[in-house]
Amino acid sequence: MKKDDLIELTIEDLGVDGEGIGKVDGMAIFVKDAVPGDRVQAKVMKMKKSYGYARLMQVLDPSPERTESRCAFARQCGGCQLQAMTYEAQLDFKAKKVWNHLIRIGGITDLAKPEIIGMDDPWRYRNKAQFPFGTDKEGNPVTGFYAARSHNIIPCTECWLGVEENKVILEKILDHLKTYHISTYDEVSGKGLLRHVLIRKGFTTGEVMVCLILNGRTMPKLTELVDSLREVPGMTSITINVNTKNTNVIMGTEMISVWGQDYITDYIGNIKYQISPLSFYQVNPVQTKKLYETALGYADLKGNETVWDLYCGIGTISLFLAQKAGKVYGVEIVPQAIDDARQNAKLNGIKNAEFFVGKAEEVLPEKYEKEGIYADVIVVDPPRKGCDTAALETMVKMKPERIVYVSCDSATLARDVKWLGERGYEVKKVKACDMFPGTVHVETVVKLSLKKDAPKIEITMEPDEESNYTPQEKAIYSKIKEYVKDKYGVNVHTSYIAQVKRMCGLDMGENYNKSKKENPEVKQCPQEKVEYIKDALRYFKLI
């Protein structure tokens, strides 16, 4: 086989990126846009030693899993790798991908194929779209999407993943550009005015936002454009984003209000969000709600727990958890996301969520080593590369009862699950969630629990370390011990009292729970003793 050869093959499998895989003379051939079960004719594009790539020329005998792509541009765009597959087959592919990763990489032997949460209607689920503007050969303004791996705009105002308003809005803007001879931005020369248009819609509120991204600060005849856009039902916010840099970063940092509010409002569950053009917000709110409800279910909160939400973004999961937890701490690397998280907490009157800016792998170890932080449950939702080992190491030291792992990449999830499995955490539940129908992407939630027979880390706090406590603390600690001993007949360690005080949000002062050892690993207070100590704290009117 060599380049340009025409071959015939049956597609047997799908690669992780959604490309069909078949065999010719024992060699694996990857054929984009082909579906398992298809008999196809393809043209060889590139051959390597033991595999090759071919271009789909003709479907000779279609697979029962093949369906008509709804979008005429599905192949050129490349955004929806699986659009030619029935939705059931897409879901099955995604569930199997997660399953395979957890078995092969995660080393989990007794796992049934995970359930996958699909959409009732897998179209028009995106609440956000950014359309590039340019000019065609005849000099007419165009908008659409970039052809795969290029910056050539394919004219198209109708993407089936986006809302119907997109088309109406884009056509109004194109008309405006034509009527008033307004230029579009040219990436090569850096000249021209309109670069992109961002459209967002609040699915629960119906509010619509348009943001014009300009190589400048205003647009000719802006009032006329605003009047036209205001006719779109739900229009709430029209703004300009200034981006005069010659860069392919879409948005600049400066925002100018044009009409209405600078933001739209939306809800996920009963949590309200204010979304400005620059804020991050999940693009499929319907599935996000289902995903986070699953995560919340796996966290199994009773109301008093301390929960850490690592990689918290704008706090979507944190605020969900806060409704059921005693206290939630969120950690996120992007400062603006934390500003949004704090603002969203305020907007919803949520007072038991606190947020820290920084890397999870730095913030968590530092807080653990310096402040002896505690967690009943840790939730993580890391980027594709998964959790950093330093973060995982600290999580294990903190010995939360449960870890809920939300992931957009099941391969790195499986790697981390294996690592946690070797340190006492076993997978209890797995669910996949289809946040991006039509594409190969899939989200997964895993519930891990600390095994009951996990090797206990012994208390490293020696009795003499109690000298770390102030005289007042020591006095109250011995009273609590005496009270518990008298009432319940058991001894409680000072470190347990410190843990329970911390759980109850009592200020621990500087010296609580400090060990002379570098890395104090304090055994977790058993639940019944937590209750005895809480009783004592109540008795002494400390809580």
Residues tagged in the binding site annotation for S-adenosyl-L-methionine: 282, 311, 332, 381
Distance CA 438, CA 466 (A): 60
Distance CA 10, CA 16 (A): 18
Distance CA 213, CA 257 (A): 12
- By the rule CB under 6 A, 311 interacts with ligand SAH: yes
Q: Regarding beta strands 39-47 and 6-14, do their DSSP bridges make them parallel or antiparallel, or are they unpaired?
A: antiparallel
User: 313 or 424, CB closer to ligand SAH?
Assistant: 313
Tell me which residues in 62-81 interact with ligand SAH (CB under 6 A): none
Closest residue to ligand SAH: CB criterion: 313
Q: Which one of 82-90, 108-116, 241-249, 375-383 is the stretch in contact with ligand SAH (CB under 6 A)? A: 375-383
* Per annotation, catalytic residue among 71, 80, 408, 504: 408
- By the rule CB under 6 A, 383 interacts with ligand SAH: yes
- Sheet arrangement for strand 306-310: 115-117, 425-433, 443-450, 402-407, 377-380, 306-310, 327-332, 353-357
Closest approach of ligand SAH to the CB of residue 189, in Å = 34
Q: Which of 9, 11, 360, 476 binds ligand SAH (CB under 6 A)?
A: 360
User: 273 or 374, CB closer to ligand SAH?
Assistant: 273
- Biggest alpha carbon–alpha carbon distance for the chain: 91
Structure tokens at 350: 């949520």
Contact between 217 and 179 (Cβ < 8 Å): no
Task: List the one residue out of 288, 349, 296, 348 whose CA is nearest residue 313.
Answer: 288
Q: What angle do CA 152, 167, 226 make, to 5 degrees?
A: 105
- By the rule CB under 6 A, 381 interacts with ligand SAH: yes
CA 163 to chain centroid, in Å, comes to 21
Q: Which one of 48-56, 129-137, 311-319, 499-507 is the stretch in contact with ligand SAH (CB under 6 A)? A: 311-319
Closest approach of ligand SAH to the CB of residue 444, in Å = 13
Closest approach of ligand SAH to the CB of residue 268, in Å = 9
387 in catalytic set: no
Residues 6+ apart with CB under 8 A from 165: 199, 201, 208, 232, 233, 234
Q: Which of 18, 22, 36, 313 binds ligand SAH (CB under 6 A)?
A: 313
Provide the 10 A C-beta neighbour count for residue 152. 13
Q: Which one of 62-70, 145-153, 306-314, 439-447 is the stretch in contact with ligand SAH (CB under 6 A)? A: 306-314
Closest approach of ligand SAH to the CB of residue 6, in Å = 44
Binding residues: 282, 311, 332, 381
Tell me which residues in 252-271 interact with ligand SAH (CB under 6 A): none
Backbone conformation region of residue 98, classed left if phi is above 0, alpha if psi is from -120 to 50, else beta: alpha
Residues 6+ apart with CB under 8 A from 135: 141, 142, 183, 184, 186, 192
Size of residue set near ligand SAH by CB under 6 A: 18
- By the rule CB under 6 A, 364 interacts with ligand SAH: no
Closest approach of ligand SAH to the CB of residue 316, in Å = 4
The dihedral through the CA atoms of 139, 140, 142, 148 has a sign that is: negative
Contact letters for ligand SAH, residues 325-354 (x by CB under 6 A):
------xxxx--x-----------------
Please give the positions annotated as active site.
408
Residues engaged in binding ligand SAH (CB under 6 A): 282, 311-314, 316-317, 331-334, 337, 359-361, 381-383
